[in-house]
Amino acid sequence: VSSVTCSIMKLAMLNTDFCIFCCFAYLTDVCDNPLVYNLPPSSFRSSSQLSSSHGPGFAKVNRREGAGGWSPLLSDKNQWLEVDLQRRTQITAVATQGRYGSSDWLTSYLLMFSDTGHNWRQYRQEDVLGAFPGNTNADTVIQYKLDYPVIARYLRLIPLDWNPTGRIGLRLEIYGCRYTSEVAGFDGRSSLVYRLSARMSWTGRESISLKFKTFKASGTLLHAKGQRDHSLNLALEKGRLLLYHHSGSGGKLLVSLGSLLDDQHWHHVKLERLSTHLNLTVDKNMQQVHVPAELIILTHLSLSPLFLEQGNMTFSCNEPVFVAVTFTDSHSFLQLPVLTSWLSGIVSITLQFRTWNKAGLLLTFSLQQQEGSVFLYLSEARLLIPNVCVQTGSGLNDGQWHSVELNSKENHLSITVDRDEGATAHTRTPLLPTAKSQLFFGGCPAQAVSLDCRNPFQEFQGCIRLLKLDSETMDLIKVQDGRLGNYSGLQIDMCGIIDRCSPSHCEHEGTCTQSWSTFHCNCSKSGYRGATCHSSNYEQSCEIYKHKGNTSGQYYIDVDGSGPVKPQLVYCNMTENQTWIIINHNNTDLTTVHSSPETNQHFANFHYTSEEKQLSTVISQSEHCEQELLYQCRRSRLFNTLDGAPLSWWVGGPASGEIQNYWGGALPGSRQCMCGLKDNCLDSSFYCNCDADYNLWTNDSGLLTHKENLPVRSLVLGDIHRPGSEAAYRVGPLRCHGDQNFWNAAFFEEETSYLHFPTFHEELNADISFLFKTTSSSGLFLENLGIKDFIRIELSSSTEVIFSFDVGNGPLEVKVRTSLPLNDNRWHSVQVERNVKEASLRVDDFPAAIQEAPSDGFIHLQLNSQLFIGGTASRQKGFLGCIRSLQLNGVTLNLEERARITPGVRPGCPGHCSSYATLCQNQGRCVEKANGFSCDCSQSAHTGVFCHKEVSGSFKSTTSITYIVTEPYEMSRNSSYLHSSIYSDITLRGEDISLSFRTSQSPAMLLYVSSFYREYLILLINKHGEDFYANLAGLTSIGFTGCLSGVRFNSIYPLKAALLHPTSRVTVTSPLVPSSCASSSPADSYAAETTHSLSGKRSVIAVVIFVIMCTAAIMARFICIRKETYRNQEVKAAKSEDNHEFPVSSQAGSLRVQGENQKEFFI
pLDDT digits (tens, 9 = 90+) for 112-147: 999 999 999 999 887 667 789 999 999 999 999 998
Residues 189 and 174 in one domain: no
Residues 806 and 768 in one domain: yes
Torsion region of 549: left, alpha or beta (phi above 0 gives left; psi -120 to 50 gives alpha):
left
Q: How far apart are CA 281 and CA 546, in angstroms?
A: 46
Is residue 1015 in a domain? yes
Q: How far apart are CA 571 and CA 542, in angstroms?
A: 8
Is residue 212 in a domain? yes
Instruction: Tell how strand 277-282 and strand 267-274 pair up.
Output: antiparallel
Average pLDDT estimate for 327-355: 91
Under the banding of pLDDT at 50, 70 and 90, the label for residue 967 is low
User: What integer best gives the mean pLDDT of the chain?
Assistant: 83
Short-list 252, 258, 286, 291, CA closest to 273:
291
Average pLDDT estimate for 555-562: 94
| pLDDT above 50 (res 57) | yes
**pTM for the full model?**
0.80
Is residue 988 in a domain? yes
Under the banding of pLDDT at 50, 70 and 90, the label for residue 731 is very high
Q: Tens digits of per-residue pLDDT, 445-460?
A: 887 666 678 888 999 9
Under the banding of pLDDT at 50, 70 and 90, the label for residue 1002 is confident
Instruction: Tell how strand 828-834 and strand 766-773 pair up.
Output: antiparallel
| Spatial contact of 261 and 267, defined as CB atoms under 8 Å apart | yes
pLDDT reported for residue 1141: 34
When computed from its CA atoms, the radius of gyration of the chain, rounded to whole angstroms, is 42
Short-list 18, 29, 98, CA closest to 61:
98
Under the banding of pLDDT at 50, 70 and 90, the label for residue 197 is low
Average pLDDT estimate for 1121-1149: 34
pLDDT reported for residue 509: 92
Is residue 505 in a domain? no
How many folded domains does the chain comprise? Answer: 6
Under the banding of pLDDT at 50, 70 and 90, the label for residue 1084 is very low
Q: How far apart are CA 370 and CA 1083, in angstroms?
A: 74
| pLDDT above 80 (res 625) | yes
**Contacts (Cβ under 8 Å, ≥6 apart) of 967:** 1011, 1012, 1134, 1157, 1158, 1159
Average pLDDT estimate for 1007-1013: 76
Residues 275 and 337 in one domain: no
Q: Is the alpha carbon torsion for 1021, 1022, 1023, 1024 positive or negative? A: negative
Q: Is the alpha carbon torsion for 859, 863, 867, 872 positive or negative? A: negative
pLDDT reported for residue 295: 63
Q: Which of 492, 524, 547 is the last residue of a domain?
A: 492
Under the banding of pLDDT at 50, 70 and 90, the label for residue 1009 is confident
Q: Tens digits of per-residue pLDDT, 430-441?
A: 778 888 889 999
pLDDT reported for residue 1090: 37
Short-list 603, 632, 495, CA closest to 118:
495
Residues 373 and 447 in one domain: yes
Q: Which of 134, 149, 178 is the last residue of a domain?
A: 178
| pLDDT above 70 (res 611) | yes
Across 974-983, 996-1005, 1091-1100, the highest mean pLDDT is recorded for: 996-1005
pLDDT reported for residue 437: 86
Number of other CB atoms surrounding residue 447 within 10 Å: 8
User: Nearest 5°: CA angle at 174, between 168 and 179?
Assistant: 145
Is residue 530 in a domain? no
| pLDDT above 50 (res 664) | yes
| pLDDT above 80 (res 730) | yes
Is residue 678 in a domain? yes
| pLDDT above 60 (res 1091) | no
Is residue 914 in a domain? no
| pLDDT above 80 (res 505) | yes
**Omega before 445 within 30 of 0, i.e. cis:** no
Q: How far apart are CA 651 and CA 670, in angstroms?
A: 15
Short-list 302, 204, 282, 255, CA closest to 8:
302
Q: How far apart are CA 229 and CA 244, in angstroms?
A: 14
Average pLDDT estimate for 397-414: 90
Provide, rounded to the nearest whole percent, the portion of the chain with pLDDT above 70: 83
Provide, rounded to the nearest whole percent, the portion of the chain with pLDDT above 90: 52
Average pLDDT estimate for 966-977: 44
| Spatial contact of 639 and 700, defined as CB atoms under 8 Å apart | no
| Alpha-carbon dihedral 443, 447, 453, 454, rounded to 10 degrees | 70
- CATH number of the structural domain spanning residue 276: 2.60.120.200
Q: Which of 257, 280, 310 is the last residue of a domain?
A: 310
| pLDDT above 80 (res 423) | no
pLDDT reported for residue 950: 87
Residues 166 and 269 in one domain: no
| pLDDT above 60 (res 236) | yes
Q: How far apart are CA 185 and CA 17, in angstroms?
A: 8
| Lowest mean pLDDT, pick from 436-450, 763-777, 795-809, 1088-1102 | 1088-1102
| pLDDT above 60 (res 306) | no
Residues 210 and 242 in one domain: yes
**Contacts (Cβ under 8 Å, ≥6 apart) of 721:** 595, 596, 597, 598, 599, 600
pLDDT reported for residue 1028: 61
Under the banding of pLDDT at 50, 70 and 90, the label for residue 291 is confident
Residues 676 and 692 in one domain: yes
pLDDT reported for residue 758: 95
Residues 654 and 799 in one domain: no
- CATH number of the structural domain spanning residue 666: 2.60.120
Residues 972 and 1055 in one domain: yes
| pLDDT above 50 (res 974) | no
| Spatial contact of 922 and 1027, defined as CB atoms under 8 Å apart | no
| Spatial contact of 280 and 270, defined as CB atoms under 8 Å apart | yes
Q: How far apart are CA 524 and CA 673, in angstroms?
A: 50
Of residues 896 and 386, the one with the higher pLDDT is 896
Instruction: State which residues form the domain around 832.
Output: 745-909
pLDDT reported for residue 1051: 77
Give the three-class secondary structure for 55.
Answer: coil
| Lowest mean pLDDT, pick from 52-56, 157-161, 761-765, 984-988 | 984-988
Short-list 570, 543, 545, 544, CA closest to 556:
570
Supply the DSSP string of 1036-1090, one letter for each residue. HTS---EEEEEEEETTB-HHHHHHHS--TT-EEESPEEE-----SSGGG-EEEEE
Residues 752 and 792 in one domain: yes
pLDDT reported for residue 55: 96
Under the banding of pLDDT at 50, 70 and 90, the label for residue 966 is low
Short-list 267, 304, 269, 274, CA closest to 289:
274
pLDDT reported for residue 442: 94
Q: Is the alpha carbon torsion for 762, 763, 768, 774 positive or negative? A: positive
pLDDT reported for residue 880: 95
| pLDDT above 60 (res 969) | no
Residues 659 and 774 in one domain: no
- 1013-1047: buried (b, 16+ CB within 10 Å) or exposed (e) per residue? bebbbbbbbbeeeeeeeeeeeebbebbbebbbbbb
The letter for the amino acid at 116 is T
Residues 726 and 764 in one domain: no
Of residues 905 and 1086, the one with the higher pLDDT is 905
Is residue 571 in a domain? no
Average pLDDT estimate for 458-473: 94
Q: How far apart are CA 248 and CA 688, in angstroms?
A: 56
**Contacts (Cβ under 8 Å, ≥6 apart) of 681:** 673, 675, 687, 688, 689, 692
pLDDT reported for residue 6: 33
| pLDDT above 80 (res 643) | no
Under the banding of pLDDT at 50, 70 and 90, the label for residue 1117 is very low
pLDDT reported for residue 1053: 86
